[in-house]
């Protein structure tokens, strides 16, 4: 179906702001609104209920999609293979979901004949960039609209609008946090957390229990094939099931709590609280298996690329040519990342205690210092002489020229 300028596809969450945005956009742009809700494991209401609310709020069409499997398989698993942690800590909880949601928005726009895609982001966050860059990367002919940023839809205005029009949505002026969650984790910001000296209170956390008072340690064996989790404790699982079960088990131990100040794409430093028990446990296990299965130079170079990959995804470049090329390299590194990792989940930590693989580069005979040692120690002297030759020549030159004093 060809696109039309008389329809707008709106990323719909079912909450106050996007429910109000349906009528707000229609009134101010004179366009019909198609609501699109994508389930990436955020929990909450049944999709059928959300769809009906969109229609009751004035949407001419409402499209819902259960994208949990797609999200984990096509977005979280690549992040796991990349050991993706923005600024060394954040497992890209929100950043991974935005390009997937954008893909569904573009599909819906094509299907329902819309030429504009709208989202509920503000003008000072990362997500507006992620949505719009992703959308235009897939559909350069489409326009993007933000009711909050472009049509002055503030929260106070949204509450007043909902009350005036008797929309079927709960309204409240007391909402201290901005929260985004999916199966990969949960992000919490704003409210009293904006004061960097304030510690998070217990009501901030939902995915994780207090690690100060943990239950008994929980031992789990995670099996990987080509970098993908395929079994837990010997029981076959899908990647989605692996994440969900580890969210439960690692979350019960308080694993995956993150309190950090990060550098947003728009230039602002922002205090963020994250909960990602399954993601943190899986990345820890995956890194441990790579330590056994990747060749030294390959692993060293991959670590450099992992940070660049994480930066690209955080900064709205999921569909960029550079990331696509990086994906090819990372996928190639996973050919031998197969085996079992044993972990103990306890007191906020996921600790690797065992590694087992048939494709590793660890050779017991070379590593042992006991009987059975197969390493030829006589070759070490010549290796050291050659390895240190350049440094030795440079040191002799410096002594001759007086650049350094003799020790």
- Residue 277 near residue 250, CB atoms below 8 Å: yes
Query: Which two structure tokens, joined as six digits, stand for 379?
Result: 């070759």
Kindly name the residue from 31, 103, 127, 349 that is annotated as catalytic: 127
User: Cα 30 to the chain's mean position, in Å?
Assistant: 36
Q: How far, in Å, CA of 213 to CA of 18, rounded? A: 39
User: Cα 123 to the chain's mean position, in Å?
Assistant: 21
CA-nearest of 382, 74, 83 to 227 is: 83
Kindly name the residue from 7, 17, 53, 94 that is annotated as catalytic: 17
Kindly name the residue from 6, 66, 178, 300 that is annotated as catalytic: 178
- Residue 184 near residue 270, CB atoms below 8 Å: no
- The verdict on whether 17 is a catalytic residue reads yes
Kindly name the residue from 98, 249, 257, 349 that is annotated as catalytic: 98
Beta-sheet strands, E only, within 6-66 = 7-11, 32-39, 61-66
- Residue 337 near residue 219, CB atoms below 8 Å: no
- The verdict on whether 270 is a catalytic residue reads no
DSSP 57: T
Which SS3 state, helix, strand or coil, does residue 35 take? strand
- The verdict on whether 376 is a catalytic residue reads no
- The verdict on whether 127 is a catalytic residue reads yes
Please report which helix (H) or strand (E) contains residue 247, including its range.
Answer: helix 239-252
Which SS3 state, helix, strand or coil, does residue 346 take? strand
Distances (CA, A) of 65 to 9, 15, 104: 14, 17, 8
Burial of 267 (0-12, 13-18, 19+ CB in 10 A): exposed
Query: Which two structure tokens, joined as six digits, stand for 274?
Result: 């994250």
* Residue 98 CA neighbour count, 13 Å, CB half: 28
- Give catalytic residues, as residue numbers: 17, 98, 127, 178
């Amino acid at each position: 179906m060809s696109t039309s300028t008389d329809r707008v596809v709106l990323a719909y969450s079912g909450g106050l702001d996007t429910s109000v945005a349906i009528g707000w956009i229609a009134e101010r742009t004179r366009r019909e609104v198609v609501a699109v809700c994508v389930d990436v494991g955020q929990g909450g209401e049944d999709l059928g209920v959300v769809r009906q609310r969109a229609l009751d709020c004035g949407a001419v069409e409402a499209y819902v999609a259960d994208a949990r499997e797609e999200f984990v398989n096509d977005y979280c698993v690549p992040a796991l293979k990349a050991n993706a942690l923005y600024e060394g800590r954040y497992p890209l909880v929100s950043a991974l979901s935005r390009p997937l949601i954008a893909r569904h928005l573009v599909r819906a726009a094509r299907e329902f004949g819309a030429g504009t895609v709208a989202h509920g982001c503000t003008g000072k966050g990362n997500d507006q960039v992620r949505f719009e860059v992703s959308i235009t990367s897939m559909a350069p002919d489409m326009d993007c609209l933000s009711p909050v940023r472009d049509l002055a839809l503030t929260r106070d205005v949204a509450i007043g609008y909902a009350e005036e029009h008797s929309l079927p949505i709960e309204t409240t002026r007391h909402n201290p946090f901005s929260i985004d969650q999916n199966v990969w984790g949960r992000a919490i910001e704003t409210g009293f957390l904006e004061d960097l000296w304030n510690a998070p209170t217990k009501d901030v956390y939902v995915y994780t229990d207090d690690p100060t008072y943990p239950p008994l340690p929980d031992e789990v064996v995670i099996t990987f094939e080509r970098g993908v989790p395929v079994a837990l404790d010997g029981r076959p699982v899908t990647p989605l099931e692996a994440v969900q079960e580890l969210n439960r088990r690692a979350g019960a131990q308080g694993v995956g709590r993150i309190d950090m100040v990060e550098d947003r794409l728009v230039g602002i430093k922002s205090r963020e609280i994250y909960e990602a028990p399954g993601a943190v446990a899986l990345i820890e296990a995956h890194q441990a298996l790579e330590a056994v299965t990747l060749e030294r130079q390959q692993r060293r170079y991959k670590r450099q690329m992992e940070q660049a990959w994480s930066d690209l995804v955080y900064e709205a470049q999921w569909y960029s040519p550079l990331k696509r090329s990086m994906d090819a390299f990372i996928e190639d590194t996973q050919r031998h990342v197969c085996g079992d990792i044993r972990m103990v989940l306890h007191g906020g930590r996921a600790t690797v205690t065992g590694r087992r693989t048939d494709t590793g580069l660890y050779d017991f005979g070379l590593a042992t210092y006991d009987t059975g040692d197969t390493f030829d120690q006589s070759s070490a002297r010549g290796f050291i002489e050659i390895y240190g030759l350049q440094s030795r020549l440079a040191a002799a030159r410096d002594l001759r020229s007086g650049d350094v004093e003799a020790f």
